[in-house]
Amino acid sequence: MKIAPSLLSADFARIAAQVAAVQSAGADYLHLDVMDGRFVPNLTWGPKIVEDLRGCSGLPFDCHLMVVEPERYVDEFRTAGADIITFHLEATPHAQRLLAHVRSLGAKAGIAICPQTPVAMLEDLMDDLDLILVMSVNPGFGGQSFIPRAIEKVRQARALIDRAGASCELEVDGGIGEENLRLLAAAGADVAVMGSSIFGSGDPGAMVKHLRAVLSESGAS
Ligand code: DX5
Ligand code: ZN
């Protein structure tokens, strides 16, 4: 299982050191949460920050766009250095077209679903997807409590991916710590996004190593 530290909870006054710490500890992706104050009630950053971060990390950049009209922004984030571009199914009426466009830019194309959106809504998009992101909190903030129903949604998404014979990755985001990490691995998740449990820990690098050990003990490394 891959670990994707979310920089939302990082200390941006020391960002290069924080990125280096999780990278050298074995993080698989850097998860970058883009919020517009409209799709979600919070603001973060635009492509300039992604471009600057690109200068201090070779890890795949996993950009999670929590914005309305994501079609207006994907080109800029790709140019800035995003490797995976994930937008919300709830944020655009033309998800298939946008997924195809993201792939045409040479990035991996992901769809995120909020807690109220059924996994079945993704069934007709399976040919166009490189990543499914199941939100296990309502998007917008770090440090929220995990919504237990997400475990069942991960099982459903795993079954959907397997049934379609698709190679797309299954990512989960929100409220993940050591305990539910094991449950999510067992339910079939491929990637865990973790913000506050890594960057709120005091030693992000040590925490990534610890989580890696937890996963390998549970047979999900
Ligand atoms: C929330 C973001 C998450 C956030 C997760 O809307 O999408 O990526 O950083 O933070 P934690 O792990 O603290 O719930
Ligand atoms: Zn996220």
Mind listing the pLDDT tens digit for each residue in 52-64? 999 999 999 999 9
Q: Kindly report the average pLDDT of the chain as a whole number.
A: 97
Strand 108-113 to strand 131-135: parallel, antiparallel, or no bridges (unpaired)? parallel
Q: What is the pLDDT of residues 149-194, one digit of tens each?
A: 999 999 999 999 999 999 999 999 999 999 999 999 999 999 999 9
**pLDDT level of residue 16 (50, 70, 90 thresholds):** very high
Ligand 1 pocket test: pick from 137, 179, 180, 208 the residue with the most ligand atoms within 8 Å of its Cβ: 137
Residue 15 scores a pLDDT above 90: yes
Ligand 1 neighbourhood includes 23 CB (under 6 angstroms): no
Ligand 1 neighbourhood includes 5 CB (under 6 angstroms): no
Which one is catalytic: 28, 62, 128, 173?
173
Please tell me the distance between residue 8's alpha carbon and the centre of ligand 2 in angstroms: 8
pLDDT of res. 189: 98
Q: What is the pLDDT of residues 195-206, one digit of tens each?
A: 999 999 999 999
**Ligand 1 atom nearest to CA at 42:** 6
Ligand 1 neighbourhood includes 194 CB (under 6 angstroms): yes
Q: Which residues, other chains included, contact 52 with Cβ-Cβ below 8 Å and sequence gap of 6+?
A: none
Q: What is the pLDDT of residues 29-80, one digit of tens each?
A: 999 999 999 999 999 999 999 999 999 999 999 999 999 999 999 999 999 9
Predicted structure pTM score: 0.98
Ligand 1 neighbourhood includes 143 CB (under 6 angstroms): yes
Q: What is the pLDDT of residues 126-138, one digit of tens each?
A: 999 999 999 999 9
Which one is catalytic: 28, 33, 36, 128?
33
pLDDT of res. 183: 96
Q: What is the pLDDT of residues 82-104, one digit of tens each?
A: 999 999 999 999 999 999 999 99
Domains of the chain by residue range: 2-218
For residues 208 and 140, what is the distance between their CA atoms, to the nearest angstrom? Answer: 23
Which runs of consecutive H residues, i.e. helices, occur in the chain? 15-24, 47-54, 74-80, 95-104, 149-164, 178-187, 196-199, 204-217
The CATH class of 2-218 is: alpha beta
pLDDT of res. 220: 80
Ligand 1 pocket test: pick from 33, 38, 88 the residue with the most ligand atoms within 8 Å of its Cβ: 33
Catalytic-residue membership of 173: yes
For residues 218 and 113, what is the distance between their CA atoms, to the nearest angstrom? Answer: 27
Complete DSSP assignment for 84-128: EEEEEGGG-S-HHHHHHHHHHTTSEEEEEE-TTS-GGGGGGGGGG
**pLDDT level of residue 219 (50, 70, 90 thresholds):** confident
**pLDDT level of residue 221 (50, 70, 90 thresholds):** confident
